[in-house]
Amino acid sequence: MTADSVEHNGRRRNDGTGLPDASDGRPDDANGAIARPADAPRLDPRPVYRPRVDPAAERVFGRPEGTDGAFGATPRARASEPEIRHAPPTDAILAEAYGRPGDADETLQRPPSVSEDDPGDDPGPSDPWRDPDSAVRLGAPLESEDGEDLPPAPKLTLREVLFDRRVQPRALASLAALALVIGVVGGLAVAVVTSDTGSLTSRGVSLSQVAADEDVPAGTVARVADAVLPSVVSIQVTMGDQSGTGSGVVIDGAGYIVTNNHVVSMAATNPDAKVQVTFDDGTKVPASVVGRDIKTDLAVLAVKDVDNLVVAELGRSEDVQVGEDVVAVGSPLGLSKTVTRGIVSALNRPMRLSGQGTDTDAVIDAVQTDASINPGNSGGPLVDIEGRVIGINSAIKSETGGSVGLGFAIPIDDVTEVVGELIRNGEMRHPEIGVNARSVVNDVASGAEVANVQNDSPAQRAGIVEGDVIVRVGDREVTTADELVVAVHAQEIDQPVTVQIVRSGRLVDIQVTPESD
């Protein structure tokens, strides 16, 4: 750079850089702009930095193929003039019905020439509630042309109201007689259809239970035996060279006897088997199986052509108390009219009954007693000290097979419900939720652990899974798998019930609706 150029372009800096000093603020042209030194270095443009785009991200967020512009739809061109749409022509029928007649010249509205202050020749009555701005006015009331009172009209009879005098009294009497005949015939037909002729079941039987009478003094065992024995029977089932014995009790004067299912199951499953009933006076008659329930180990027999039957008096489970005296009556080991005495040891004891050559598969909510019960007592009554049946003896628990003071009877409330259903319909339905469980006791819970859940069962639909521990069903606490069966059978079919489970250490309430088995 020459001295002339330095003089022309400006002074140099004193910082040793050798660059011209363009900060002196002296303009070099008429516009006042500072001129760029001729030897000033020119910098190249900064390169554009484009970060590398991941191929996967580009496929997801990149511009679609074939798209050059924005992603949005191309705005449509505006119409130069708005489209005018005309209403469709009026339907000819509607126009004829509601249109103005062709020869009419008046309008439905008041002509604009009529003033608000000029109501016309008939101003009408004054109305204090009238809106002064309303265009509607009240006219004069319509007066009757004939002011004379009309004579009272005669009252119409029922025949005239219903038939307009077109039906004669004789025809009405015939219709009434025909309706009566139809009603009588229909009633007889219903009676024939619903009758129990030729069937062992009956809908006319109702079992009654008697409440405890606190005013009756406690009787002795001898008096109880004398009152109960006439209603207790011995039952013998034979098939070829096989036979079995048991007991039963008469519960209805029509010849119905209740016993255990395992006593008569051989006869129920084999047509060649015979059932014989021996009464207290020694009378022996054949019996037929009316119905049986393998889930409660109960069965009903029926006998015919037996007069003067003594019917046992049935008590109520709610009156039974632990520690009260009881008497067991039956035919243990074939010894009829056997009476033993004991007390009620416990209530609501879940007890499983199965096996021993029978199809019984039951869990009963038993009445436990220490009264001596042996094979052959099954089906006989357990009665309180006032002679009322409070249970049906069904099982014992013993390592030797004989009585050790652990006998179990089906509660009378369950007997009444099941037997009544067997007499009416020949079968009994029970509620089920569709789970198999095993008893479990650990630090977390004590109850019935779900081993498996049946497909499309109420439990599966409610959300119960394997491993859940059921600890309560409704108001009944569950501590074992047998108690779960008892608790479920105590519910109503198709009625939701709260099932409490332990899952992962937490209590969970689930609504389950039991279904019929």
Any idea how long the chain is? 517
Helix (H) / strand (E) containing 190: helix 169-194
What would the two tokens of residue 2 be? Answer: 């020459």
Contact 393, 376 (CB under 8 A): no
- The three-state DSSP-derived secondary structure of 381-429 is EEEECCCCEEEEEEEECCCCCCCCCCEEEEEHHHHHHHHHHHHHHCCCC
Rg (CA), the chain: 51
φ and ψ of 462, to 5 deg? -80, -15
Contact 139, 129 (CB under 8 A): no
Using alpha carbons only, give the angle 397, 400, 401 rounded to the nearest 5 degrees: 60
What would the two tokens of residue 152 be? Answer: 């009272």
Contact 419, 311 (CB under 8 A): no
How many Å apart are CA 347 and CA 367, to the nearest integer?
A: 5
How many Å apart are CA 333 and CA 317, to the nearest integer?
A: 28
43: left (phi over 0), alpha (psi -120 to 50) or beta: beta
Contact 450, 467 (CB under 8 A): yes
Nearest to 312 by CA among 428, 236, 415, 204: 415
Q: What does the CA dihedral 185, 188, 193, 194 come to, rounded to 10 degrees?
A: 140
Catalytic residues: 262, 297, 378
Contact 393, 380 (CB under 8 A): yes
DSSP letter for each residue of 227-283: HHGGGEEEEEEEETTEEEEEEEEEEETTTEEEE-HHHHHHHHH-TT-EEEEE-TTS-
57-66 CB contacts, 8 Å cutoff, 24+ apart:
none
